Structure 1
């Protein structure tokens, strides 16, 4: 009953018209007066921002802010996977033989998430990681490893909440929301990075269109809080032992390491 009520309410207020109005406002000069209250409410660290808070012309510009060059340390080892974002590691686990994952007690289809059974077959028995970005987090996305870009494509039209309530009561938001999938190859290991749009504003903007990505370099950004899912082939990734679920992680922090015995 709660799930049905939640989904009905979200669908009622989350339409194309609402999204356009919010996006237009966020880009406008009128939204500038919200920047300081927003920063205060979410306790955003102003010292690590690349620009002074007064210089941002709109709430969107502040939301997609960049950080100072030394604000994050990128794990430098060639065989490690670094976090592509600031966020919360909400879950990590194994992809089932039926290409499904279980998050907060709900099943999600990797085939649906990636847009095809053939693509999903690569990751059966592999590992998934879910990194949630709240409105308080830095919203630029970076490469998790030195990789070759195999393909980038988008799927879906509308987006619903991907916070804990959304994962608990929503209708498979991780595999149905608007999302941009980037398939990568690190040496002979395949991995996918799924950038999932959030409620109201679908926007996932790719800013790096090179065929080669270097670990830690910026590749995209969200225009609203959202989620990044990393997916690895079977027996090619080992989670960092010190990480617990859930836990806060920072962009560039070591999430685990590649296993080259594939």
Structure 2
């Protein structure tokens, strides 16, 4: 590891994660032109964001930085591919890792694994549902579209908010910070689908001002205890490709499916870029 990378990793342990993230969140909500426009222009130039895909193509059309960062796309710019019983990518992003869940372990990065039970906040019964199932860790960089959609139609039955740190979730930290995704603040969303139970874990990260869902708004930004909510009695059915939430600044989504539900498309490889609506599986399983 070079000195620059070492300094970055060291800073992750020393910085006041939540204070820094909430402070950035304050500025991201500002509607003052001398604050919001420099922020938006910096991100446009630094990360090469393509506003031609957005419904609003000018920075002048956004009320604040968060509005810009969670921008909606033009209609039909992300077609939902395949048949209704085939999984699609829930986000624009990069495949950090993917594969089969063996012995309660997920791959975090080359040479590093972590326990599924830890990711799910210690819920052993929930973790057992995904024995020998599949997972995909999808990293959203600052240039990406930051809304999260359903990979397949389903009903939301339970959410669990798990407090934690806010380490950066880029490749460098994934390779060097043990149990990264099981340490960061996250929201575990469990859905029932025709392909069995699936979970999407929305992982917070450094400078992520908050996670937001369509059913509850901003999720517990200051809560410091595990909080579970059962939602089976509410009508929370989502169509394949329908929006379920968004990140206010970039982070990661971890998709979990049960054994036999998903066979990976040959185009899905580590570090491959994926788009919302892109087919994830090679064929529909009979199970």
Q: TM-score, normalization: structure 2?
A: 0.84
1:213-259 per-position Cα deviation (integer Å, ceiling 9, x unaligned)? 10111110001111111111112210112322221110011111552
**Kept after mapping to 2: 8 A contact 1:6/1:169:** no
| TM alignment of 1:1-262, pairs within 5 A | 7-28=9-30, 29=32, 30-53=35-58, 54-97=60-103, 99-104=104-109, 105-115=111-121, 116-187=123-194, 189-201=196-208, 203-208=210-215, 210-256=235-281, 257-261=283-287
TM-fit CA distance, 1:113: 0.6
Q: Distance in 2 between matches of 1:205 and 1:19?
A: 15
Q: Secondary structure at the match of 2:267?
A: coil
**Kept after mapping to 2: 8 A contact 1:208/1:218:** no
Tell me whether 221-230 or 3-12 shows the greater mean CA deviation: 3-12
1:28-47 per-position Cα deviation (integer Å, ceiling 9, x unaligned)? 12122221232122222221
Q: TM-score, normalization: structure 1?
A: 0.92
Q: Return 5+ residue gaps in structure 2 as ranges.
A: 217-234
Runs of 4+ in 1 over 6 A off after TM superposition: 1-5
TM-fit CA distance, 1:78: 1.6
1:51-102 per-position Cα deviation (integer Å, ceiling 9, x unaligned)? 13221122221111111112111124122101110000121111112x1112
Q: Secondary structure at the match of 2:23?
A: helix
Q: Distance in 2 between matches of 1:251 and 1:61?
A: 20
**Kept after mapping to 1: 8 A contact 2:150/2:244:** yes
Q: Return 5+ residue gaps in structure 1 as ranges.
A: none
TM-fit CA distance, 1:16: 2.8
Aligned residues between the structures: 260
**Kept after mapping to 2: 8 A contact 1:113/1:174:** yes
